[in-house]
Homo-oligomer: A and B are copies of this chain.
Amino acid sequence: MKILIALIFLVPFLNGISQKGDSAFIRSIYDEALLRGEAHENLRSLCKDIGARITGSASADMAIFWSEKLFEKYNFDKVYLQKIRVPHWERGTKESAWFINKKGKIKKLNVLALGGSVPSDGLISSGIIEFKTLEELKKASPKKVKGKIVFLNEKMNAHLINTFKAYGQCYPIRRNGASEASKLGAKAIIIRSLALPVDEHPHTGSLHYQEGIKKIPAAAISTMDADFLSNTLNKSIRGKKNAQTINLELNCRLFSDKDSYNVIAEMKGKLKPEEVITFGGHLDSWDTGEGAHDDGAGVIHCLEALRILKELNYKPIHTLRLVFFMNEENGNRGGEDYASIAFANGEKQIAALESDRGGFAPRGFSCDGTDLQIKFLKQFESLFAPYELHVFEKGYGGVDIGPLKKHYKNIPLFGFVPDSQRYFDFHHSPNDVFENVNKRELELGAASISSLLYLLDLNL
């Protein structure tokens, strides 16, 4: 009886101590990030010394070298490259579109080929037909579409508070638009960029050609140009719709697969070295802008998270493995191969965490897992309250870590959730540059991830 009473009093007391200890350690993590952080300078270097780094490019190779050297500089327990095969698509040097109206007035459009697009093989000059949604295009009569360039002008839905939901709704126009237009005999397709603001930047991204359908060239134009084009097309001149032509040239092309690498660093676990917590982002980016938010911020978050734990002399229980994944943007070969190799090697993967939603002010973490795993995450909510994190809920993990679920059914996948409002101002566009990442927001993200890693390691 006495023992029971002692226990009743002891348990909350111990919890009290532990929470207090956690809280102090987490404060030291945030201090290291905010007062002596290296995230901002490392992101600057990745964006300015390397820049855009699409899979298969020389700059992607450079980014791999850059990452490996930086990991070695930080003197992590183990640094290595994991060989993978990746697709190799190049934008080429010719990429232009002009709009010409009936009177011969000409206007250049801000255009970017979609990733994976076939080339136009010279100049396509053709009439244009607009659709407001993918569904509208699917229902159209082939007669109307045949021989034309389809203009798919679906807007991201500003009603949705989380911009990723709006992106998810609109995403099929980019992924499937070309195949749907091709089925109806279109020569090419241009889509409205997947972006919320109306501005001059086109946003690229990968497309998917359905098997057995003729591949047609596909490109995105800026939202401003999409509005201009739509307004012009819908203007009547003496009762007749304003006839017009689009001239389009793209000489992008797909080369053979080539070798590339995931870049990996580890802090070895002291008690359970064989149990691995994987965390990271993707090192590749699109070939425009500097991949600053997507996903420069994510890889730098995770690197900084590990650097901080090492700097604070934390000795992990499990092995903490940082992965800079290659090829998230147009294939996810890095993520797929990482998971297969881990499984083939008999590794014990106990949790994974990804940052791939930009370098904005932290809101919290989502968990792709069971109710119990989400409850497990939620227990940390109060520890993060002083840092203004408040989202601890069921949700997506990330593209790179996603394939782990194929091999490890019960693994919880955690996604870092920053504020989403500005993400689609920059995503996949020439505007995704270092200057658009705020230093403190980036640092707070890195500290949040470092703190969750610490808590996962301690409590799993």
Contact = CB atoms under 8 A, between A and B. Distances in A.
Interface in A201-251: none
Interface in A403-447: 419, 421-422, 425, 438-441, 444
A196 B440 contact: yes
A197 interface: yes
A391 B35 CA distance: 25
B35 A159 contact: yes
A158 interface: yes
Interface in A336-387: 361, 363, 386-387
A388 B161 contact: yes
Interface in A7-36: 30-31, 34-35
A130 to B, nearest CB: 21
B387 A440 contact: no
Contact of A34 (B158, B162, B425): B158
B386 A161 contact: yes
A440 B158 contact: yes
A197 B441 CA distance: 12
A440 B157 CA distance: 12
A440 B199 CA distance: 14
- Copies held by the complex: 2
Contact of A419 (B361, B391, B439): B361
Given A422-B441, A438-B425, A439-B197, A161 B361 contact: no
B30 A161 contact: yes
A390 interface: yes
Nearest to A386: B161
Contacts of A30: 159, 161
Contacts of A163: 440
A361 B35 contact: no
Contacts of A422: 438, 440-441
A90 to B, nearest CB: 33
Contacts of A386: 161
A34 B159 contact: yes
Contacts of A421: 361, 438, 440-441, 444
A199 to B, nearest CB: 10
A421 B391 CA distance: 18
A388 B361 contact: no
A177 B259 CA distance: 62
Given A421-B440, A422-B438, A31 B196 contact: no
Interface string A442-460: 0010000000000000000
A390 B364 CA distance: 12
A104 B438 CA distance: 37
A383 to B, nearest CB: 13
Contacts of A387: 161
A222 to B, nearest CB: 16
A438 B158 CA distance: 14
A438 B390 CA distance: 22
Nearest to A40: B197
Contacts of A439: 196-197
A419 B420 CA distance: 13
Contacts of A438: 421-422, 425
Nearest to A443: B158
Contacts of A197: 439
A425 B438 CA distance: 9
Choose among A158, A363, A444 the residue with the greatest number of B CB atoms under 10 Å from its CB: A158
Given A34-B159, A158-B440, 12 more contacts: A30-B161, A161-B386, A161-B444, A162-B388, A196-B439, A197-B439, A361-B419, A363-B388, A419-B419, A421-B440, A421-B444, A422-B440
Interface of A: 30-31, 34-35, 158-159, 161-163, 196-197, 361, 363, 386-388, 390-391, 419, 421-422, 425, 438-441, 444
24 contacts: A30-B159, A30-B161, A31-B159, A34-B158, A35-B158, A35-B159, A158-B440, A161-B387, A161-B444, A162-B388, A163-B440, A196-B439, A361-B419, A388-B391, A388-B419, A390-B390, A421-B438, A421-B440, A421-B441, A421-B444, A422-B438, A422-B440, A422-B441, A425-B438
